[in-house]
Amino acid sequence: MPPISPSNSSLILASASPRRKELLSRLGIPFEVKALDTPEPLDQSPPSEQVVRLALAKLKAFRSAYPTTKRPILCADTCVDIDGRILGKPSNEAEAEKMLFQLSGRWHRVITALALGLEGQSPIIKSAVTEVRFAELTKAEVDWYIKTGEWQDVAGAYRIQEQGALLIEEIRGCFYNVMGLPLRLVYGMLRDTVPDVFSNP
Ligand SMILES: Cc1cn([C@H]2C[C@H](O)[C@@H](COP(=O)(O)OP(=O)(O)OP(=O)(O)O)O2)c(=O)[nH]c1=O
């Protein structure tokens, strides 16, 4: 079979995240990635509301940058929520270390909000929550993990899909949600609203 290429009706993944691109490709549908650098300011509202607000802000930014596109647009935002507060992406090693000690020996929640933009319709919003329990980390383990560099560019300073797996005792919920894209939820959302994206161009 020839490789499937994006057509004018295919999905756009509006994201700079290499993880989201990799995960979405598992659906086996054509899509195109368009990355935007959208600011992600946090506020005091509950994390489950903030991720929705940020996913919608990404969709809005995409629409301003590409006002004429008629294609379905998928945006997402993932946050790490511990005790009702968001751990964002650390900006340096000290911040990453602090986050890892905060997560150590505890359960936290990883929430991803999806915003699907369809022509002439209000955005469709869905969220997924996965609970993650960290092992009790020693200082030596945190020092080792910081040296892997995996803390960079990820919420909560760890990557479940890489060596960060060694920090985790248990999860409840979708693994892919922690990586940034809850695959079954994305699949269901597209199947129910834009089934055309599953047909070959
Ligand atoms: C907790 C965790 C997060 N992450 C990633 C998923 C997301 O890419 C990132 C959270 O940041 P996001 O702001 O959700 O996404 P992003 O800035 O990477 O990409 P864009 O806004 O352009 O879509 O953290 C992992 O890869 N592994 C993990 O274990």
> In sequence order, which ranges of the chain are alpha helices (DSSP H)?
18-24, 47-65, 93-103, 139-148, 175-179, 183-193
Distance 182 CA to ligand 1 centre (A): 12
Q: What is the pLDDT of residues 53-96, one digit of tens each?
A: 999 999 999 999 999 999 999 999 999 999 999 999 999 999 99
Interface predicted TM-score of the whole assembly (ipTM), two decimals? 0.96
- For 136-146, what is the mean pLDDT? 98
- For 182-195, what is the mean pLDDT? 96
Q: What is the pLDDT of residues 100-130, one digit of tens each?
A: 999 999 999 999 999 999 999 999 999 999 9
Alpha-carbon torsion angle 166, 170, 174, 176, nearest 10: 0
Q: Is the CB of 142 under 6 A from ligand 1?
A: no
The catalytic residue among 77, 83, 143, 192 is 77
Domains in the chain (CATH in brackets) are: 11-198 (3.90.950.10)
Q: Whose CA is nearest to atom 9 of ligand 1?
A: 154
Residue 153 known to be catalytic: no
Q: Is the CB of 160 under 6 A from ligand 1?
A: yes
Q: Is the CB of 155 under 6 A from ligand 1?
A: yes
Task: Express as a percent the part of the chain with pLDDT over 70.
Answer: 95
22 close to 33: Cβ distance less than 8 angstroms: no
